[in-house]
Amino acid sequence: MILVVRGTEPPSLGPIRATQLAGLRSLRRPPQSSEIDGYKIVAENLWRAQHYKCCYCEQKIRKGFNDVEHYRPKASADRRPGCTQNHGYWWLSFTWDNLLFACPACNRSAKNNRFPIDHGSVSLIAEEPAPGGERPLLLNPASTINPVEHIEFVLETVGPAGSPQEWWARPRNGSLFGHMTIDVCDLNHTEQRELRSDHFDNIVRLHVNALNDALATAQGREVQREFDRALALLKPENLYVAFTYDALRSSIPGSKLQAAIQKRWPTPRQVGR
């Protein structure tokens, strides 16, 4: 998961929001999920803004799935551990700052209606603007908090002796936000680990080997060239940028680069700045 820049709200969303909210308010009761509709009009805008990637797992996905994700769930919300109230955030269903694009696995199977908030938080009530007294524990990829600072990927063996080493998502520095986000988005699902391993074996490893070969020659120009090529993997349009960042750092320590070319791996949000 990396930072997402949504851009400005599309002009098409405002009229839909006004019409749909008027209808939902006329119900005079909390609406059901099937009654909240129309927000998918911005699916393509979000899809393109996110470089065709899921906001949580960074897998590229076709626009046709139309999974516009509500950071704060629209019809019902599981706020545990900090709150047992389960009403949804229907009045935020058409709010641009609450919308993201996600793959079906993350949106429907993993996160679904989960929205953990911290102990002591006060849940929003109908029509109240976010964040109010809530302290969400789920990282929002479109906020000012860089998810990379809270989630890391570590190559390790989990399970009985003889189990293979795999790339596991872990809370960085014990981050509670990282822990809850990994759990809610199921970032250590078997398929997620397999996709990360495949990405490392077929893409990242090639750059690691080339950079290590250059470092062995002690030729600064060659090292810089291979470093720049590897650095291109951290551009936001690429797959699994957050994972690639940790895979590169663990494969070739920054201290080794510092000694050769006075450079270190920048965090994804710093690339290109």
Q: Is residue 249 part of a domain?
A: yes
CA distance 25 to 37: 14
User: Does pLDDT of 271 surpass 60?
Assistant: no
Terminal Cα distance for the chain, rounded: 19
Interval 210-226 mean pLDDT: 92
Q: Is 212 exposed, middle or buried (0-12, 13-18, 19+ CB in 10 A)?
A: middle
Residues spanned by the domain of 37: 13-111
Q: Residue 32 domain-assigned? A: yes
DSSP state of 30: P
Q: What is the pLDDT of residue 108?
A: 86
Tell me, yes or no, whether 240 and 191 share the same domain. Answer: yes
Same domain, 85 and 170: no
**Average per-residue pLDDT for the chain:** 94
Q: Is residue 125 part of a domain?
A: no
Neighbours of 236 (CB within 10 A): 17
Asked if the structure places residue 128 within a domain, the reply is: no
**Is pLDDT at 17 greater than 70 in this prediction?**
yes
For the chain, percent of residues with pLDDT exceeding 70:
99
Residue 203 falls within a domain, yes or no? yes
Mapped onto helix, strand or coil, the DSSP state of residue 8 is coil
Domain count, the chain: 2
pLDDT of residue 272: 47
Instruction: Tell me if 214 is assigned to some domain.
Output: yes
